[in-house]
Amino acid sequence: MNQRSLVFLLSLVLLAYMAWLVYLGLVLPAERADVLFSETGWFEDLSAVLWLVLAAVLLIAKPIGLSRRLGMAVVAAALAAREEGWHKRFTTDSLFKSDYYQMTNVPMVEKLIAGAVAVGLTITLAGAGWARGIRSRWLASSVGMAGAVCGGDLAASQGG
């Protein structure tokens, strides 16, 4: 299986996943949907796995330069970590909330470390090329896969 067919196959899998989430969100009873789509439900864990699959696919996307591939893979892995709750596992609250940095009960050292992580991820994202625009079909495929994961999660949360 060559790289193009792998990316195409993974895109189809993610689109099928998104369609399945929308379908389940529409047909399941509210109580059942709440259990499946909750923060402790297995769809939350599956989303993290799919972000990691995206990171792995980005690492092998040879037409994209190595530094850009690594940057995008780091961002995808960070999004998987966020799905698993790591954005507030090591801090008092979510490091992505602006009011976190204004909380008086949070130690300044914690805020500085969390801020450095957030700024580092932002720089990585910009360096990976996502902020500069999409210049190749391989990058477009990667963004499409990420969109499928996000869209499926959004549809699932709206459907339940």
Per-domain boundaries in the chain? 3-159
The pLDDT value given to residue 42:
76
The pLDDT value given to residue 154:
41
Contact 72, 142 (CB under 8 A): yes
Cα separation of 148 and 18, whole Å?
Answer: 6
Contact 155, 133 (CB under 8 A): no
Cα separation of 61 and 144, whole Å?
Answer: 14
**Structure confidence by residue, pLDDT tens digits, 95-105:** 777 787 888 88
* 81-91 burial: b if 16+ Cβ within 10 Å, else e: ebbeeebeeeb
Higher pLDDT, 159 or 109: 109
**Structure confidence by residue, pLDDT tens digits, 76-100:** 888 888 888 777 777 888 877 778 7
Confidence check: pLDDT of 73 > 70? yes
The pLDDT value given to residue 7:
74
**Structure confidence by residue, pLDDT tens digits, 107-130:** 888 888 888 888 887 777 666 555
